[in-house]
Amino acid sequence: MSFIDYASAMNARKEVLDWVSKRIEETTPITDGEHIIDYLCSDKSPKRLERMTYEQAKSNAEKWVKAMTKKGEHIKESSEDTETVLDFKDGFRIAKLKGKAAFEREGFLMSHCVSSYFDKDDEIYSLRDKKNMPHCTMSKDSQQLKGKGNGSIAPLYIGYVVKFLEHVGMTVRDSEMKNLGYINVEKLKKELHKDTKYFNEKYVYESEKLLGKDGKEFYSFDLLDVKDFVTEKNNNLKINFDLQLFIKLSFEYLSSTINKVTPKASVSSGDYATNASSGDYAKNASSGDRATNASSGNYAKNASSGNRATNASSGDSATNASSGNYATNASSGNYATNASSGDSAKNASSGDSATNASSGNSAKNASSGDSAKNASSGNYAKNASSGNYAKNASSGNSAKNASSGNYATNASSGDYAKNASSGNYATNEMLGNNSVSVNAGMEGKAKGKIGSWFCLSEWKYDSNLKRHNPVCVKAVQIDGKIIKEDTWYTLKNGEFTEVSE
């Protein structure tokens, strides 16, 4: 990990990030670079940094570290207070905290409450450098990994922490592994390539490209459960997916899982019924659980009310309806209509003007055709469309809407929603609280409630290159004063500008 990543993890202001990128080399010793960045992020750092040299910063940082250490000199940690359990032979080691002084010193230098863990039934470990300064505190029983101030682990130390976890076979919570840059893909393992590198048999490094069993890049809507759709760092929003590729490959994966169902030609009204018809205007109905309906003709109508129902139609104007939980609807024809009311439903359509609707929680709607409409009212819903003029609407909390086509419309009324669009002329509307919107295309618009964030992009045409290029990307929080609530904004000449609907 680079020093600029470490500075970002410390929530360094822009001036610090600029200084680090210009002054600190990647060959700089880890502790020197970290101490400088810690100093620059402290309240002792000067506000203006452009004239500060590396040597000046290093000297000031050393004085600052000595002053900080001196504050804790009243805490005397003896050799008996800690026990080295793993020596990395480069000045870094993992120390197990044993004595009360070790717990108090760790808590003071790391600015958290680990001192209260002394004499409790838990094992506490600390990553120490050659000066015996701590950089990460780890709890075995509570499965925690904490950086300074209970924050995330600085990227420079992730390698040491992972090696320690492997060494002692220690496991931590998914949220803590996420702080180390790992995501849990356990439920996708059967779909991933055999050479995928796992940690603890279920985690992979978040930045590593996932490959499917066929060796090609793998995406699934289920990744949104373990990987952040967008992240905010230093007032900048970042989309963590290539939207167009993500939607395309996730849709293909969802469709392939549906297509694995091979119905047999039989008619039954009981559970596990399998109905198949190839003629036009066919109508298949089953009320039992795990029913499978398949029709290849136009204007087909499939209806199932049982749990885990699977409806598939490839003709135009198909209508799929299921009311049970875990229902899966798929249609490839134009003007298809998929509706499911159960939880965890999955609707997929690849034709133009398709309409997907789900009212249950954790629903997933995916459409790749133009003018598609995805609507979900349950919590944690995920709507994705790759065609032009798509409309994604979600009313539940923590919903995620993603569109990659032009003229897309993303609307969410629930709290903590995340809307992202990569196409041009898209509009993202946030009616709920504490939501985030990212619009990466040209002439995008966004509006929302006080406390929510939105990010817009500005593009200019380059007559020499004969193409549009991004010239400005900015994020802002709606405060109700400078940025008004429920008001449409676009980015023009580098400034947020009010526009009509």
pLDDT score of 356: 84
d(CA 8, CA 441): 25
Within this chain, do residues 60 and 134 fall inside the same structural domain, yes or no?
A: no
Domain boundary among the residues 53, 71, 89 is at: 71
d(CA 313, CA 330): 6
The mean pLDDT of 253-257, rounded to a whole number, is: 73
pLDDT for residue 139 is more than 60: yes
Mapping DSSP to helix (H, G, I), strand (E, B) and coil, where does residue 310 land? strand
pLDDT score of 271: 43
Domain boundary among the residues 128, 162, 180 is at: 180
Residue 290 banded pLDDT, cuts 50, 70, 90 = very low
pLDDT score of 235: 58
Within this chain, do residues 426 and 446 fall inside the same structural domain, yes or no?
A: yes
Task: Quote the number of domains for the chain.
Answer: 3
d(CA 315, CA 296): 6
Q: Which of 73-79's residues contact partners 24+ apart within 8 Å by CB, and which partners? A: 75/101, 75/104, 75/105, 75/108, 76/101, 77/101, 77/102, 77/105, 77/132
With the CA atoms of 193, 210, 176 and 103 taken in that order, what torsion angle do they form, in degrees rounded to the nearest 10?
80
Report yes or no on 219 lying in a domain. no
Within this chain, do residues 171 and 270 fall inside the same structural domain, yes or no?
A: no
With the CA atoms of 189, 194, 199 and 201 taken in that order, what torsion angle do they form, in degrees rounded to the nearest 10?
50
* Residue keyed to tokens 């496991």: 171
Within this chain, do residues 315 and 394 fall inside the same structural domain, yes or no?
A: yes
Report yes or no on 52 lying in a domain. yes
Within this chain, do residues 34 and 107 fall inside the same structural domain, yes or no?
A: no
Please check whether residue 106 is in contact with residue 72, taking contact to mean a CB–CB distance below 8 angstroms.
no
pLDDT for residue 357 is more than 90: no
With pLDDT > 70 as the criterion, what percentage of the chain qualifies? 81
Task: Encode pLDDT of 420-435 as tens digits.
Answer: 888 899 999 999 998 9
Angle, CA of 140, 175 and 93, to the nearest 5°: 45
Radius of gyration of the chain (CA): 27
pLDDT for residue 172 is more than 90: no
For helices 54-71 and 100-110, the axis angle rounded to 10 degrees is 140
Report yes or no on 235 lying in a domain. no
Residue 66 banded pLDDT, cuts 50, 70, 90 = confident
Q: What share of the chain is helix, strand, coil (3-state, %, to 5)?
A: 25, 30, 45
Report yes or no on 239 lying in a domain. no
pLDDT for residue 78 is more than 60: yes
Within this chain, do residues 143 and 261 fall inside the same structural domain, yes or no?
A: no
Residue range(s) defining the domain that contains residue 56: 3-71
Within this chain, do residues 265 and 355 fall inside the same structural domain, yes or no?
A: yes
Q: Which strand (E) or helix (H) includes residue 14?
A: helix 14-23
Within this chain, do residues 23 and 155 fall inside the same structural domain, yes or no?
A: no
Residue 74 banded pLDDT, cuts 50, 70, 90 = confident
The mean pLDDT of 383-388, rounded to a whole number, is: 84
Report yes or no on 467 lying in a domain. yes
Tell me, what DSSP letter sits at residue 223? Answer: G
Give 107-150 as a DSSP string. Answer: HHHHTSSGGGGTTSS--EEEEE-TT--EEEEEETTTTEEE-GGG
Report yes or no on 200 lying in a domain. no
Q: What are the structure tokens assigned to 338, written together?
A: 């998929």
Q: What are the structure tokens assigned to 119, written together?
A: 């004499």
d(CA 251, CA 117): 48
The mean pLDDT of 127-137, rounded to a whole number, is: 93
Within this chain, do residues 37 and 91 fall inside the same structural domain, yes or no?
A: no
Please measure the distance between the N-terminal and C-terminal CA atoms of the chain and give it in whole angstroms: 44
Please check whether residue 404 is in contact with residue 423, taking contact to mean a CB–CB distance below 8 angstroms.
yes
Residue 318 banded pLDDT, cuts 50, 70, 90 = low
Within this chain, do residues 110 and 54 fall inside the same structural domain, yes or no?
A: no
418 or 288, greater pLDDT: 418
